[in-house]
């Protein structure tokens, strides 16, 4: 049957052509990203040098009667520690006496560098929003330094193409909150990979999202993998549900994203998957887990095979992060505790008493973008001596809490996550751009 043969050949050729297209496209995007990153690094380096020249050349006389110009922003390089020492010592200018640091290192360390940063972070972030005007520039600069400058030379996509794996029949709000938050923080494109019956609903919430109804298709993994070369960050779990097929797809997508070195934030039902199969993300340095207390307890008990000591959260966070191969972990709560297994950082920016559903989705969506920024900044040598995943986690936690605070001031008890999303722009400016 020559007709059938012809058809077969045709199909084979078009599959081949499609594959070639994606390969070439992937190479093109990677080359473009490298070029833009190098350009970005050069620009920041120039700014740094200018700032240094400016601050060293500035007249020091305080008795001068003419008003002094305000100093430029602090240069973004945080430390001169070699990049191989991520997660170890803090930036030199953040050092402080070890005596003030005891409660944040588990077990207590004798290395003054290792002791210094957590307590500095704690000292500032415990101050709450009322003291935002008096922020400690050193600490805020950790997060500020990863925020890419907005310049007219940029093209769409460069500041973040983020993928959300989640959205099913029961949950359409969660992936929407995560994806729209990624855009509002400053990511350029947000892709949602959800089930067919969730797709139209999610699309109808916002024309800004790119929605792929593929999560329950038989070749879901391949459908999603096509997009991986274009993604800078992945958020797995918001509204994913717990059906076996969906969890299996999520697992394979995580594995393939790991192989491509893409930063991955895992939340909600994605954490259910990790609780049952920790190896899927264990030891991946670009992975971040964001459990609430319940999710944390489940994960802890699955890994340690014993009940958690709930009187010492800091120790538990350190233990679990270490057991996960020094993965960055955020235990959300009254204070957010962040650890990569070597230290615990506490974020206590003042929020409010209002705990509506979806705040965690805002957090993980914004963290997806910040993780991309932080790893790009680290690759460019702009943050050294500090784990980029921790910087991203810290930035996203502060931002979510600040949004909660601002939304509550306007809406009080009726505050919802949509109200918080409205506050992302002003909150971001207040924390990281003022």
Ligand X SMILES: NC(=O)C1=CN([C@@H]2O[C@H](COP(=O)(O)OP(=O)(O)OC[C@H]3O[C@@H](n4cnc5c(N)ncnc54)[C@H](O)[C@@H]3O)[C@@H](O)[C@H]2O)[C@@H](O)CC1
Ligand Y SMILES: Nc1ncnc2c1ncn2[C@@H]1O[C@H](COP(=O)(O)OP(=O)(O)OP(=O)(O)O)[C@@H](O)[C@H]1O
Q: Are 372 and 395 in contact (CB under 8 A)?
A: no
> Which range touches ligand X (CB under 6 A), out of 126-134, 290-298, 308-316, 378-386?
290-298
Rule CB under 6 A: say whether 173 interacts with ligand Y: no
Pairing relationship of beta strands 344-347 and 189-194 according to DSSP bridges: unpaired
Q: Which residue number, 275 or 321, has a Cβ lying nearer to ligand X?
A: 275
Q: How far is the CB of 163 from ligand X (least distance, A)?
A: 16
Rule CB under 6 A: say whether 357 interacts with ligand Y: yes
Q: Which residue number, 36 or 430, has a Cβ lying nearer to ligand Y?
A: 430
Number of residues interacting with ligand Y: please give it, by CB under 6 A. Answer: 17
| Encoded tokens for 218 | 């038989």
d(CA 190, CA 171) in angstroms, rounded, equals: 18
Beta bridge partners of 264: 234, 287
Q: Which residue number, 259 or 294, has a Cβ lying nearer to ligand X?
A: 294
Residue located via tokens 């950790």: 142
For residue 296, the partner it binds in ligand X, ligand Y, none, with Cβ less than 5 to 8 A by kind, is none
For residue 239, the partner it binds in ligand Y, ligand X, none, with Cβ less than 5 to 8 A by kind, is ligand X
> Please, which residues have CB within 8 angstroms of residue 187's CB and are 6 or more apart in sequence?
159, 160, 161, 162, 233, 368, 369, 372
In what order do the strands lie in the sheet containing 264-266?
A: 210-213, 189-194, 161-165, 233-236, 264-266, 287-289, 328-331, 336-339, 344-347
Rule CB under 6 A: say whether 394 interacts with ligand X: no
Rule CB under 6 A: say whether 180 interacts with ligand X: no
Beta bridge partners of 424: none
Rule CB under 6 A: say whether 351 interacts with ligand Y: yes
**381 has binding-site annotation:** no
Rule CB under 6 A: say whether 153 interacts with ligand Y: no
Question: Which among 264, 188, 175 is positioned nearest to 215, based on CA atoms?
Answer: 175
Q: Are 389 and 372 in contact (CB under 8 A)?
A: no
* Straight-line distance from the first to the last Cα atom of the chain, in angstroms, rounded to the nearest whole number: 72
Q: Which residue number, 235 or 281, has a Cβ lying nearer to ligand X?
A: 235
Number of residues interacting with ligand X: please give it, by CB under 6 A. Answer: 16
Rule CB under 6 A: say whether 401 interacts with ligand Y: yes
For residue 259, the partner it binds in ligand Y, ligand X, none, with Cβ less than 5 to 8 A by kind, is none
d(CA 146, CA 410) in angstroms, rounded, equals: 30
| Encoded tokens for 38 | 């190098």
Of positions 232, 286, 332, 384, contacts ligand Y by CB under 6 A:
332
Of positions 249, 400, 402, 406, contacts ligand Y by CB under 6 A:
400
| Encoded tokens for 289 | 């887990």
Q: How far is the CB of 268 from ligand Y (least distance, A)?
A: 6
In the complex, residue closest to ligand Y by CB: 360
Of positions 93, 304, 355, 429, contacts ligand Y by CB under 6 A:
355
Of positions 89, 360, 365, 388, contacts ligand X by CB under 6 A:
360
CA distances from 339 to 106, 116, 367 (A): 11, 15, 15
Is residue 33 left, alpha or beta, with left meaning phi > 0 and alpha meaning psi from -120 to 50?
alpha
Rule CB under 6 A: say whether 346 interacts with ligand Y: no
Of positions 199, 280, 397, 407, contacts ligand Y by CB under 6 A:
397
> Which range touches ligand X (CB under 6 A), out of 29-37, 194-202, 232-240, 247-255?
232-240
> Please, which residues have CB within 8 angstroms of residue 350's CB and are 6 or more apart in sequence?
128, 129, 130, 401, 405
Binding-site residues for ATP, please? Answer: 332-336, 351-360
Binding-site residues, please? Answer: 239, 292-298, 332-336, 351-361
């Amino acid at each position: 049957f020559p007709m059938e043969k012809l058809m077969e050949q045709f199909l084979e050729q078009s599959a081949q052509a499609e594959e070639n297209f994606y390969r070439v496209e992937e190479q093109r995007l990677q080359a473009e990203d490298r070029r833009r990153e190098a350009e970005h690094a050069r620009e920041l380096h120039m700014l740094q040098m200018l700032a240094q020249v400016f601050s060293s050349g500035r007249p020091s006389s305080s008795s001068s009667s003419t008003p002094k110009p305000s100093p430029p922003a602090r240069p973004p390089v945080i430390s001169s520690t070699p990049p191989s020492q991520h997660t170890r010592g803090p930036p030199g200018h953040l050092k402080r006496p070890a005596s003030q640091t005891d409660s944040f290192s588990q077990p207590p360390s004798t290395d003054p560098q290792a002791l210094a940063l957590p307590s500095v972070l704690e000292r500032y972030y415990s101050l709450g929003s009322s003291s935002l005007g008096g922020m400690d520039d050193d600490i805020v600069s950790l997060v500020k330094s990863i925020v890419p400058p907005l310049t007219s030379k940029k093209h769409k996509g460069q500041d973040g193409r983020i993928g959300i794996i989640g959205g099913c029949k029961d949950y359409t709000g969660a992936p929407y909150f995560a994806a729209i938050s990624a855009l509002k923080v400053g990511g350029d494109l947000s892709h949602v990979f959800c089930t067919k019956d969730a797709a139209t609903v999610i699309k109808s919430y916002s024309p800004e999202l790119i929605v792929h109804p593929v999560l329950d298709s038989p070749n879901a993994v391949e459908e999603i993998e096509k997009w991986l070369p274009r993604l800078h960050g992945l958020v797995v779990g918001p509204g994913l549900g717990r059906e076996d097929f969906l969890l299996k797809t999520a697992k394979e997508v995580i594995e393939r994203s790991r192989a491509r070195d893409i930063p991955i934030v895992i939340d909600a039902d994605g954490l259910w998957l990790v609780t049952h199969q920790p190896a899927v993300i264990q030891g991946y340095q670009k992975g971040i887990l964001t459990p609430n207390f319940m999710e944390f307890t489940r994960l802890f008990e699955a890994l340690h095979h014993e009940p958690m000591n709930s009187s010492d959260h800091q120790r538990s966070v350190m233990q679990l992060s270490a057991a996960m191969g020094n993965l960055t972990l955020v235990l959300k709560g009254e204070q957010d505790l962040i650890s990569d297994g070597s230290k615990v950082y506490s974020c206590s920016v003042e929020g409010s008493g209002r705990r509506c559903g979806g705040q965690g989705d805002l957090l993980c969506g914004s963290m997806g973008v910040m993780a991309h920024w932080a790893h790009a900044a680290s690759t460019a040598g702009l943050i050294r001596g500090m784990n980029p995943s921790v910087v991203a986690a810290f930035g996203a936690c502060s931002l979510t809490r600040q949004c909660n605070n601002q939304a509550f001031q306007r809406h009080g008890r009726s505050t919802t996550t949509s109200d918080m999303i409205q506050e992302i722009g002003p909150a971001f400016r207040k924390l990281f751009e003022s």
